[in-house]
């Protein structure tokens, strides 16, 4: 876990691409079951993560998804996608297209910068 507040927590998904997941602490099956505060926390986090990924990793595209078929609880995926990743242009759950040749900036520095921004944004709210 890289970040947590009373409403949500954020994890890294082990992958060849930068990929984070946002979960609610309370188990909800559908987004419509979330409280207004949980929804606001998710949207704010999504916005922060997307902007930080775009600036730091300079991907070809950001993918944001919420399926919950395998894990039937509210959670969101935020992925920095590259034309040379193993699945592009397919989703990361799709058919592998090639062996990935992704070259990105170190995830550790991104995570440290993200932790600082999330903590400052949510304590200021």
pLDDT tens for each residue of 34-90: 999 999 999 999 999 999 999 999 999 999 999 877 777 999 999 999 999 999 999
Q: Which residues of 91-112 are buried (b: 16+ CB within 10 A; e: fewer)?
A: ebeeeeeeebebebeebeebbe
Could you tell me what percent of the chain has a pLDDT over 70?
A: 97
> Is 3-124 a domain of CATH 3.30.428.10?
yes
Sequence ranges of the domains in the chain:
3-124
pTM exceeding 0.85: yes
């Amino acid at each position: 876990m890289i970040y947590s507040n009373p409403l949500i927590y954020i994890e890294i998904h082990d992958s060849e691409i930068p990929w984070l997941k946002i979960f609610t602490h309370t188990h909800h099956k559908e987004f419509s079951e979330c409280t207004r505060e949980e929804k606001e926390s998710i949207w704010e986090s999504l916005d922060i993560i997307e902007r930080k990924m775009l600036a730091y990793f300079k991907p070809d595209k950001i993918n944001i998804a919420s399926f919950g078929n395998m894990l039937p609880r509210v959670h969101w995926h935020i992925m920095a996608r590259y034309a040379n990743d193993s699945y592009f242009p397919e989703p990361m759950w799709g058919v592998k297209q090639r062996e990935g040749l992704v070259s990105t900036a170190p995830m550790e520095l991104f995570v440290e910068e993200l932790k600082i921004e999330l903590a400052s944004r949510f304590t200021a709210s």
